[in-house]
Amino acid sequence: MYRKLASDVYYVGVDDHHTELFENLWKLPYGVSYNSYLIVDEKIALVETVKGPWADEWLDNIRELVNPAKIDYIILNHMEPDHTGALPDIARIAKNATLIYTPRASDMRKSFYDVDLNEKKVEDLEELSLGKKTLKFVHIPFVHWPETMATWIAEDGILFGCDAFGAFGALNGKHFDDEANMELVERESRRYVSVIITSYFKFVQNAIKKVKDLGLNIKIIAPSHGIIYRKNPNWIVSKYDEWSSPKLDKYCAIVYGTMYGYTHRLAMKLKKELLNLGVEVKIDNVSYSDIGDIITNTVRAGVIVIGAPTYDAFPFPRVWTYVNELQGKRFAPRPVGFFGTFGWGGGALEKLQKMAEEMKWEVLEPIVKVRGRPSKEETEMVKRLAEAIASKLS
Ligand code: FEO
């Protein structure tokens, strides 16, 4: 199957309904698409390949339009294998094609794939004429790998944004924003941004600024995952801008674990106190919520509060997993609160405090540390913590 974006420009990508976890980490309840595009001009250019196991279906899509042996250029905006896994398959057929990518991508390509094709390393804003259409390559490093670029067709106003402006969710024949369920698209693109790109928000902001400064008259944004924006390309640009903004939102996220319900009691008390103070709350129990959803719910929270019982002298393991993600994804600094319970020696809250010190996050007082079940006085401490949180968000 293919879809037409503009004269001689086609979508030839595939849907993946098979992979359970993207990067073997993140849930895909609605699948995912690997977008690839074909430009049929005097020269034929392919933008991106697909994940390896989908090569046959993808090649069939291309064959509906051209003989793949006649492809002149294979443009690799990004080397991650979800977009390059089928490179060896097309390299065996399009033997005269030239690989186009950034200088940084060259070594990466050689480390991943031993293919016998010529390469052309393109500098930032370098152009390549295909005949009637001219491609311009816009380097957008660290969105979200160092070698990434976007490809621009001025004649059609199409920006192939790579992972930028992408989303989870298979397309199922609804390839464009005027065909798709945009409520679902918004949810799945926000989750995609939060779990894949959070570490690189600064670079997303740089890329958006760069595209704006170039003054491109964008009519279509065609990312490497998810729907293509032809009705309102500015919508996804403004959403990405908002989601990657250094200015956090005014709500409190509570993330907690519990074994026998004592830490849960503290979490519920804190939620109640915050709601009484008019504070918006998002709350996740790590034993029930998906880790990708927890990251999405917390990444823009003005205050995060973490609750954990002690387990083997460490925080409850799933809380610790979340904390590792928070550190690895370089969440922007913000005030953080802690509460937790222990049976004898403790250790959870001490480890969490150390993490906050290392990240240079402000720790809100009081830290609510409870042995066994919370006493009346300890429950009152939660009220004071809620007041401290409310004052930070006012
Ligand atoms: Fe969709 Fe970074 O690969």
- Among 222, 243, 264, the domain boundary falls at 243
Q: What domain range is 255 assigned to?
A: 249-387
Q: Which atom of ligand 1 is nearest to the CA of 162?
A: 1
Per-residue pLDDT, 230:
98
CATH number for position 340: 3.40.50.360
In a domain, 393, yes or no: no
Q: Can you tell me which residue has the tokens 């992979």?
A: 19
Token pair, residue 265, equals 């009691």
Per-residue pLDDT, 209:
95
> Same domain for 215 and 304?
no
In a domain, 354, yes or no: yes
> Same domain for 222 and 357?
no
Per-residue pLDDT, 325:
96
Ligand 1-lining residues (CB < 6 angstroms) = 78, 80, 82-83, 144, 163, 224-225
> Same domain for 158 and 284?
no
> Same domain for 216 and 260?
no
- Among 192, 214, 243, the domain boundary falls at 243
Per-residue pLDDT, 187:
97
> Same domain for 239 and 161?
yes
> Same domain for 264 and 211?
no
> Same domain for 192 and 261?
no
In a domain, 392, yes or no: no
Nearest to 151 by CA among 180, 172, 130: 130
- Phi and psi at residue 44, to the nearest 5°: -105, 125
> Same domain for 69 and 200?
yes
CATH number for position 175: 3.60.15.10
In a domain, 135, yes or no: yes
Each residue's pLDDT expressed in tens, for the chain with a length of 394 residues: 999 999 999 999 999 999 999 999 999 999 999 999 999 999 999 999 999 999 999 999 999 999 999 999 999 999 999 999 999 999 999 999 999 999 999 999 999 999 999 999 999 999 999 999 999 999 999 999 999 999 999 999 999 999 999 999 999 999 999 999 999 999 999 999 999 999 999 999 999 999 999 999 999 999 999 999 999 999 999 999 999 999 999 999 999 999 999 999 999 999 999 999 999 999 999 999 999 999 999 999 999 999 999 999 999 999 999 999 999 999 999 999 999 999 999 999 999 999 999 999 999 999 999 999 999 999 999 999 999 999 999 9
> Same domain for 239 and 281?
no
| pTM metric for this prediction | 0.95
Q: Please classify residue 251 by burial: count the beta carbons closer than 10 Å to its beta carbon, then call 0-12 exposed, 13-18 middle and 19+ buried.
A: middle
Look at ligand 1, atom 2, and give the residue with the nearest C-alpha. Answer: 80
> Same domain for 56 and 198?
yes
- Among 206, 227, 243, the domain boundary falls at 243
CA of 252 to the centre of ligand 1 (A): 30
Token pair, residue 138, equals 């816009």
> Same domain for 234 and 255?
no
Q: Which atom of ligand 1 is nearest to the CA of 80?
A: 3
In a domain, 394, yes or no: no
Nearest to 264 by CA among 324, 297, 309, 305: 309
> Same domain for 254 and 171?
no
In a domain, 108, yes or no: yes
The count of domains in the chain is 2
- Phi and psi at residue 374, to the nearest 5°: -65, 130
Per-residue pLDDT, 342:
97
